[in-house]
Amino acid sequence: MSFMPYVAPEQMMKDRSDYAHKGIARGRSVVGLEYADGLLFLAENPSATLHKISEIYDHVAFAGVGKYSEFEELRIAGIRLADLRGYSYGREDVKARDLANAYSQALSAIFTQQMKPYEVEVLVGEVDGSAGGTAVYHILFDGSVTDEQGFVAMGGHAEELTEALRERYEPDWDLATAVRTGVQALATVPEPREINDDQIEAGVLDRTRAQRRKFRRLPADEIAGYLT
């Protein structure tokens, strides 16, 4: 028979929280920025194929930081939920808020019930007809959700990055300015440095896009064009 020593619940939660924090702080960051035509997600990502930013549904996008296998699992679960919802009801009934709630519930259950919490944070973003319809939800490893306005940073050095964004951010940026300034902010942590163009991953939800699917992954040459 195995013997489990008594651990106070406060201590258990603190240990798990520290563990998750450490895992997330090791990884690089993602920022989300509202710009004139919608929402931009920017990530520092040395891989061109293992994405941190992805499409979930017509108006909804996803970004994850931390452990790849874990946020990839959450991403796939999100796409499945959205596609099933859209099929069962209507395409316009798929909402970022529902997805954020689903992620929150799932992460909260994992945090309290499983051996090891997920070492991830995710963003769920949505654009709707007008500028007022933009929403970004930031979900932490323990399931807590915040509704972000304007800009948001997550991952390693999220606090410094948020500060860097706060100094620079203006609503109504065009896409080029948003990409350029977002990358400038990413390059301030952990200490000021250069980031190569090919290390940047970017995706937008562009509400002015004619297609039903508003998500677009920015190709490398377009990003390079904005950064020169």
Partner 1 sequence: MSDRLELPSGGTPFGASPSFVELLRRERPEAVPPLTNADTAALSVPHGTTVLGLKYADGMLMAGDRRATAGNLIADAKMKKVFAADDYSAIAIAGAAGQAIEMVKLFQLELEHYEKITGDRLSLEGKANRLAQLIRQNFPLAMQGLVVVPLFGGFDTRRSEGRIFYYDATGGRWEEDDFQTTGSGSLPAKNSLKKRWRPGLTRDEAVRVAVEALIDAADDDAATGGPDPARGIYPVVLAVTAEGAEEVAEADVAAGVAAVVEGRSR
Q: Which residues bind partner 1 (CB under 8 A)?
A: 49, 51, 54-56, 76, 79-80, 83-84, 86-88, 213
Angle, helices 96-113/68-88, rounded to nearest 10 degrees: 140
Residue 26 Cβ vs partner 1, minimum distance, rounded to whole Å: 24
Asked if 203 and 216 count as a contact pair (C-beta separation under 8 A), the reply is yes
Cβ-based nearer residue to partner 1, 26 or 213? 213
Q: Which of 2, 29, 22, 19 is nearest to 157 (CA)?
A: 29
Residue 70 Cβ vs partner 1, minimum distance, rounded to whole Å: 13
Cβ-based nearer residue to partner 1, 16 or 51? 51
Q: Which of 117, 111, 193, 123 is nearest to 158 (CA)?
A: 123
Dihedral of the alpha carbons of 33, 150, 189, 140, in degrees to the nearest 10: -90
Q: Which residues of 149-159 are buried (b: 16+ CB within 10 A; e: fewer)?
A: eebbbbbbbbe
Cβ-based nearer residue to partner 1, 14 or 213? 213
Residue 204 Cβ vs partner 1, minimum distance, rounded to whole Å: 16
* Cα angle value 213/122/89 (rounded, 5°): 45
Residue 75 Cβ vs partner 1, minimum distance, rounded to whole Å: 9
Residue 116 Cβ vs partner 1, minimum distance, rounded to whole Å: 16
Cβ-based nearer residue to partner 1, 34 or 58? 58
Cβ-based nearer residue to partner 1, 33 or 61? 61
Residue 59 Cβ vs partner 1, minimum distance, rounded to whole Å: 14
Q: Is the bond leading into 46 cis (omega within 30 degrees of zero)?
A: no
Neighbours of 190 (CB within 10 A): 9
Asked if 161 and 188 count as a contact pair (C-beta separation under 8 A), the reply is yes
Cβ-based nearer residue to partner 1, 36 or 68? 68
Q: Is the bond leading into 192 cis (omega within 30 degrees of zero)?
A: no
Cβ-based nearer residue to partner 1, 124 or 185? 124
Residue 57 Cβ vs partner 1, minimum distance, rounded to whole Å: 8
